Amino acid sequence: SQQGEEDPQALSIQEGENATMNCSYKTSINNLQWYRQNSGRGLVHLILIRSNEREKHSGRLRVTLDTSKKSSSLLITASRAADTASYFCATGKGAQKLVFGQGTRLTINP
């Protein structure tokens, strides 16, 4: 069964708005990672948050982690057309045991 599940499955917003997507998982983790995938391309690592961290920032990205609720959120502020992509969370213990969710398809409308 999937370890990470993203919500919503699809999100469409206007350029300049903020986008929030969520990830829930089932078992204990070392860290949680977020990746972006443009259509027909490979995944690109965005940010990693460790199990003892609650919030992390990288540019326009903000990630939170709540281990008590086994959930994480990814916030993209001031969205741009180039942010249109699928976003995946990955959880687990060790790179060889990472489990990916089904992703959130984000569309930024001009």
Partner 1 sequence: DGGITQSPKYLFRKEGQNVTLSCEQNLNHDAMYWYRQDPGQGLRLIYYSQIVNDFQKGDIAEGYSVSREKKESFPLTVTSAQKNPTAFYLCASSQTGGDEKLFFGSGTQLSVL
**Under 8 Å between Cβ of 88 and 103:** yes
Nearest residue (CB) to partner 1, 18 versus 54: 54
Q: DSSP letters along 69-102, please?
A: TTEEEEEE-S--GGG-EEEEEEEESSGGG-EE--
What's the closest the beta carbon of residue 78 comes to partner 1, in angstroms?
A: 25
Which residue in the block uniquely carries the two structure tokens 């490979």? 42
What's the closest the beta carbon of residue 12 comes to partner 1, in angstroms?
A: 16
Binding site for partner 1 (CB under 8 A): 2, 4, 30-31, 33, 35, 40-45, 48, 88, 90, 94-96, 98-103
Q: Of the candidates 45, 46, 71, which has an alpha carbon nearest to the alpha carbon of residue 61?
A: 46
Nearest residue (CB) to partner 1, 80 versus 93: 93
What's the closest the beta carbon of residue 98 comes to partner 1, in angstroms?
A: 7
Nearest residue (CB) to partner 1, 101 versus 108: 101
Which residues are 23's β-sheet partners? 6, 72
Nearest residue (CB) to partner 1, 35 versus 85: 35
